[in-house]
Amino acid sequence: MRHKKILDVFTIIYKGRQQVGFKVEGVAKYIYLKPENIKQCTGVEITEVEILIGSSLRPELYHAGEKMFNGETYKGEFPIIKDFWIECAGSIENMREANANRLKKFKEIIKIFNFISNNKEIIGFDISEKKPVFVPGKRVTTLTKLNMNEIHILEGSYIAPEYYLEGENIYDGMNREPELCRKSGVILKNLNLRLIGKVEVMYERYRNAEPKYFTGYYDTSYDDDYSNDWLIDVAGSDDPEIMNVAYWNLD
């Protein structure tokens, strides 16, 4: 197969593993590659893989009946990459400039803490902004396949939280009665988590880092079932109605 133009780039986390997806001109199905292989090939970091839009990709696929690297025989149900080549459209700086409108503003996760409020396990991501980003524990553990005793290894990874804007339907795409967002920047729409590496890499990085906190519940005013401080931070308001909407939409 010849080099094909890259039309779109995105990331997914499937069964706890991160993959970078490519929509390529003339190829019906998406092509998924490992982030570490893309960095090795192009020097592009996981937080800005979108800059590869407009470059070209030449994948070499396994054929039905061919033996794969793991010793299994490829049956041809879906495309599996045997090897690939990426031809960049320019320098990283030039590609970054050409795709500036595609880039998200990722923030490094500095610290992670968790606590229980009204029988809900909540995870807080400190990204060195005015308020942490609060997410239900179940949402994070389901996405990453980490348990609550392991989530601290996500420190050093990146998020680009997106919130619903005032007037948006927070149940868009769901089989539920529409409910319009009453205040921008309150209800989390997308976490946009980008992992710094495989689980093994994150564990190693965390072990080599200086200890920042103890494993367990974070020792702040948030660790108090009778305090609503964390919810005020989530809602950006102490208005009971807005706080109530923010709380029940954490799920």
> What confidence tens digit (pLDDT) does each residue in 127-175 have?
988 889 999 999 999 999 999 999 999 999 999 999 999 999 988 888 8
3-state secondary structure of 178: coil
What is the distance between the alpha carbons of residues 241 and 245, in angstroms, rounded to a whole number? Answer: 6
43 vs 248, higher pLDDT:
43
Nearest to 51 by CA among 62, 65, 38, 67: 38
CB burial of residue 65 (10 Å; 0-12, 13-18, 19+): exposed
Phi/psi of residue 116, nearest 5 degrees: -115, 130
* Residues whose CB is less than 8 angstroms from the CB of residue 103 and which lie 6 or more positions away in sequence, other chains included: 48, 50, 51, 96
Radius of gyration of the chain (CA): 21
> With b meaning 16 or more CB within 10 Å and e meaning fewer, what string describes 207-230?
eeeeeeeeeeebeeebbeeeebeb
Mean pLDDT of 71-94: 88
- The neighbouring-strand residues paired with 122 are 115, 136
Please work out, in degrees rounded to the nearest 5, the angle formed at the alpha carbon of residue 243 by the alpha carbons of 240 and 244: 85
Mean pLDDT of 66-83: 82
What is the distance between the alpha carbons of residues 91 and 180, in angstroms, rounded to a whole number? Answer: 43
> What confidence tens digit (pLDDT) does each residue in 6-25 have?
999 999 998 899 999 999 99
Q: How many helices (H) and strands (E) does the chain have?
A: 6, 13
Total-model pTM: 0.77
pLDDT for 226: 33
